[in-house]
Amino acid sequence: MTRWQWLLAQFTRRLWVRSALFSLLGALTALVAIWLKPFIPPAVSVRIGADAVDNVLGIMASSMLAVTTFSLGAMVSAYAAAATGVTPRATMLLLQDTKAQNALSTFIGAFLFSIVGIVALSTGVYGGEGRAVLFIATIAVIALVVVTLLRWIEYLSRLGRLGETTRRVEEAAAEALRERRRKPHLGALPPPAGGMAEGVPILASETGYLQHLDVAALDKLAQAAGGRIDVLVLPGAFVARESILARSSRRLADEQLGAVQKAFSIGDMRSFDQDPRFGLSVLAEIASRALSPAVNDPGTAIDVIGRAVRILSIWAGEGAEEEPVCRHVTVPGLDEHDLLDDVFSPLARDGAALVEVGIRVQKALAILAATGSGRLMPAALRHAELAAARAVATLTFEPDRRAVVDLSARVRAAAKLGN
């Protein structure tokens, strides 16, 4: 995905953009009757009373305004509940939810359709034939609103709840990791074994999180300069102003250097798109909050462990990797130790005093150690030992400590079996 495609995707995910499009569609639907009225037989328009459409549009306008206000209040309450009960980092997924945006946009579009229709009727531009077209369009809009409202009521029962929000985080992390599994180096080449000994440093123009990397743009710039660009940071990294983002084997002109810097999109928050580690970190935040003394919900932590295993199994499993298309750029790959650090380190630390969490962590690591080609085996073994050491140092009941230690030994056995 190029930088402009990513910016367009970010723009279209905003609520007001979708609402504006639906509002424009509603207004155009009300006005299209003016152009269609010559095609309506006069016999059809006679059967529709002069006040029939006006009354229906008035009812729709008042009801859609109330429904829109109620929906906005419900969405704000759901976002606040997710921020306080789950984690604030998960609210961005709720804000970008297409189902909620489509429902709210449909209500706003129906409201604007009614207002435009009432105004046009009062001016007399429709005539008898245009009023018939407007009546048919009104029936269609009512049917659309009823279907949307029924689906919206069912959806509101899940919006903002812990399980629903956690599922969205899992889906976002799994999609990002699945894409990275397909393109382990974002479509570029892996770094050379010895790295680039010398090179012109490319510095960051601002401080923040690297949200997106336009590898295709870097490839074109490197090819035009007759050299190679080695990227040193991955999306999700926090970079400071004038820190080194990459190195170029050729000296670049000022215009080329500015274009290279624009290929690194830096913002104040991490993004789920090219950063699968962010999804894992958010899941760990959910588990840590559940394990806090104020919440004391080990069941949610156990649920997060299962979701983490499903996500990491994507990386551990066998899969076809696409051939690199950007052959003038190198990008480092994900480190398996970092992937497991993001989710299992907080879980082992905050759940060390709970034997049920410790047992589930060991079982999860045993699965990951034996899954796929064994690429997660070293990291799984390391985390099994660390989690067992934390449990032994925290648990006071000897059988509980023995249970965790025995399962840690099973992780090593599972790794040998997988190997």
Q: What is the pLDDT of residues 40-74, one digit of tens each?
A: 655 555 455 556 677 888 888 889 989 988 888 88
The answer to which of 3-12, 123-132, 174-183, 365-374 has the lowest mean pLDDT is 123-132
Three-class DSSP category at 205: coil
Q: State yes or no: pLDDT of 210 exceeds 50.
A: yes
Strand boundaries in 207-320, DSSP class E: 208-213, 229-231, 238-239, 244-248, 264-267
At residue 19, the pLDDT reads 82
What is the three-class DSSP state of 191? coil
d(CA 269, CA 130): 51
> Does the pLDDT of residue 231 top 90, yes or no?
yes
Residue-level pLDDT at 329: 93
For 127-142, b/e burial (b = at least 16 CB within 10 A) is bebbbbbbbbbbeebe
Confidence label for 254 from pLDDT (cuts 50, 70 and 90): confident
How many residues comprise the chain?
Answer: 419
pLDDT above 90: percentage of residues in the chain: 48
**Residue 83 burial (10 A CB sphere; 0-12, 13-18, 19+):** middle
148 touches 103 (CB < 8 A): yes
pLDDT of residue 47: 53
Q: Which residues contact 348 (CB under 8 A, 6 or more apart)?
A: 358, 361, 383, 386, 387, 390, 391
Helix extents (H) in 124-189: 127-156, 162-182
Average pLDDT over residues 200-218: 93
The predicted-structure confidence for 382-415, as pLDDT tens digits, reads as follows 999 999 999 999 999 999 999 999 999 888 887 6
Whole-model pTM? 0.85
- 244 forms bridges with which residues in the sheet? 203
pLDDT reading at 381 higher than 80: yes
* Residue-wise burial string across 238-254, b where 16 or more C-beta atoms lie within 10 A, e elsewhere: ebeeeeebbbbbeebee
Query: In this predicted structure, which of 101-105, 343-347, 362-366 has the lowest mean pLDDT?
Result: 101-105
